[in-house]
């Protein structure tokens, strides 16, 4: 996933880039929510916990246990 993210350096992916945090995007998210309210438009926000979304099993350990 890192190679894919690094191939497309975008500010919106700050949480997935080196030396950045997802929390750095909170002000941006707040502005988006405020504008949605101001413009009376629908807004859908999705947060994904990639640690839980993808298998994080150590494959070599798994083979040793089998």
pLDDT of residue 33: 95
pLDDT value of position 36: 95
The two most distant CA atoms of the chain are separated, in Å, by 57
Specify the 3-state DSSP secondary structure of 30: helix
Query: pLDDT tens string for the chain (66 positions)?
Result: 556 655 655 555 565 666 777 777 788 889 999 999 999 999 998 877 777 667 777 778 878 887
pLDDT in tens, 15-27: 566 677 777 778 8
Q: What is the pTM of this model?
A: 0.50
């Amino acid at each position: 996933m890192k190679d894919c993210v690094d191939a497309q350096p975008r500010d919106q992916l700050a949480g997935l880039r080196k030396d950045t945090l997802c929390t750095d995007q909170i002000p941006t998210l707040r502005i988006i929510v405020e504008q949605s309210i101001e413009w009376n438009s629908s807004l859908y926000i999705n947060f994904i916990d990639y640690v839980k979304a993808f298998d994080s099993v150590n494959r070599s350990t798994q083979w040793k246990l089998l």
